[in-house]
A and B are shown apart, each in its own frame.
Chain A
């Protein structure tokens, strides 16, 4: 394995770790409006970001299990779709997570600014 390939692999695995927290916030933010899984995938792709489908669905299940989102099947169309929406507990969690994320961004901004000055 070359140095470049190793770096790419390391970035990939670290990105996966970073994505875990980010996806929680993203999904909780998206579900302010009722959405089904595939519609979320398409919407996020349209914004220039890719969500792995096989990561999204287990995440939705975990969020629902914890009571942060709720789901209901819509059988009115040709194809049955499972719609998700954020709950009150989910909104509180989202607000708290956004605070954490903003603090992280602020700290990172500050540190990188200081590095640039050095």
Chain B
């Protein structure tokens, strides 16, 4: 028997693994190839004729797929679009819990779906891609089980806020409004940079520029000022780009940078923060109040980020829709 034929059948067998009738299929193919090769070689199948017959039958993987093509898909076409939709929603919740875990140094466990240890900002940034893959896996598993059940299950999806048709082409008035906002933000950014260059801080407790009193101690004030300038600069750049394009990517990048900067603010030490005297009993209240506000902003940005990602993914899954 030809080694080439055996190798070819072995390859098909590999791609058919798990099929109960694998041996019968291989016997059919062997019989056909030997028959064709024998006829091509004038009665006796030689190696060259077998090779030609194999080439005529096609690549092993494609042959195996022809036998497999009637099997039920892993995820039915009707449910495919829910894969990304549900993953993004789940990931949004996961991201919010991550932010809460970072801020309040909490551990979350929803066995076996969620385990979130106490995280710092860097750990959280490294944790999120893993969380995304875990969320994707959970959604895939659910959709797989629904598909395999063979039942016609209508999966829910909220239409509010993430309707793909809400994306309208940019209009002139909108561009003018964005332009004005961009210049206002540019003014604020310039002002902040001017103050920082002159006083090494942008947070003050008075508006007397001859003798300004900074709110924070020099080191903390410098760090927080730079973070604020970075936030203002990000918003300014984002607005200027949005005059030219309505691409969702601008919002996505802007949101990610803002979340990162909020994360950096949250990791700043609270000791020796204020340069002015603040009553002892007020300090914890200020600290929790600031954390709460930052958490609220972070949650708001996260929801916005997820919304943009969902709309972008839906548009990619429905190429005929508006940009």
Given contacts A52-B58, A53-B57, contact A58 B31 (CB under 8 A): no
Asked whether A48 is an interface residue with its Cβ less than 8 Å from the other chain, the reply is: no
Q: How far is the CB of A85 from chain B (nearest CB, A)?
A: 16
B36 within 8 A of A: yes
The interface residues of chain A lying within 8 Å CB-to-CB of B66 are 54-55, 57-58
Chain B residues numbered 1-57 whose CB sits less than 8 Å from any CB in chain A: 21, 24-25, 28-29, 31-32, 34-36, 38-39, 56-57
From residue B51, how far is it (CB to closest CB) to chain A in Å? 15
| A58 with B69: CB separation less than 8 A | yes
Q: What's the dominant secondary structure at chain A's contact region?
A: helix
Q: A52-B58, A62-B70 are in contact. Are A57 and B35 (CB under 8 A)?
A: no
Check B67–A53 contact: CB distance below 8 A.
no
Q: Flag if A54 contacts B58 (CB, 8 Å).
A: yes
Residue of A52, A60, A79 near B35 (CB, 8 A) is A79
What is the interface size of chain B, counting residues whose CB is below 8 A from a CB of the partner? 21
CB within 8 A of B32: which of A38, A52, A55, A61? Answer: A38
B 59-107 contacts with A by CB, 8 A: 62-63, 66-67, 69-70
Instruction: Summarize B's interface: helix, strand, loop or mixed.
Output: helix
Contacts of A82 in B (CB 8 A): 28, 31
Contact check, B31 vs A61: say whether CB atoms are below 8 A apart.
no
Residues of B within 8 A of A38 (CB): 32, 35-36, 39
Q: Give min CB distance, B34 to chain A, whole Å.
A: 6
Query: A82 CA to B34 CA in the complex, in Å?
Result: 13
Chain A residues within 8 Å of B32, by CB: 37-38, 53, 57
Q: Contacts A53-B32, A55-B66: A61 and B57 contacting too (C-beta < 8 A)?
A: no
List B contacts of A37 (CB < 8 A): 28, 31-32, 35
In the complex, what's the smallest C-beta–C-beta distance from B243 to chain A, in angstroms? 36
- A42 closest partner in B (C-beta): B39
Which residue of B21, B35, B39, B63 is within 8 Å of A61 (Cβ)?
Answer: B21
A-B contact pairs, 29 of them (CB 8 A): A36-B35, A37-B28, A37-B31, A37-B32, A37-B35, A38-B35, A53-B36, A53-B56, A53-B58, A54-B58, A54-B63, A55-B66, A57-B25, A57-B29, A57-B32, A57-B66, A58-B66, A58-B67, A58-B69, A60-B28, A61-B25, A61-B28, A61-B67, A62-B70, A79-B35, A79-B38, A80-B31, A81-B31, A81-B35
Q: Given A53-B58, A54-B66, A57-B32, list of 19 further CB < 8 A pairs? A: A37-B28, A38-B36, A52-B58, A53-B32, A53-B36, A53-B56, A53-B57, A54-B57, A54-B58, A54-B63, A57-B29, A57-B66, A58-B66, A58-B69, A61-B25, A61-B28, A79-B31, A79-B34, A79-B38
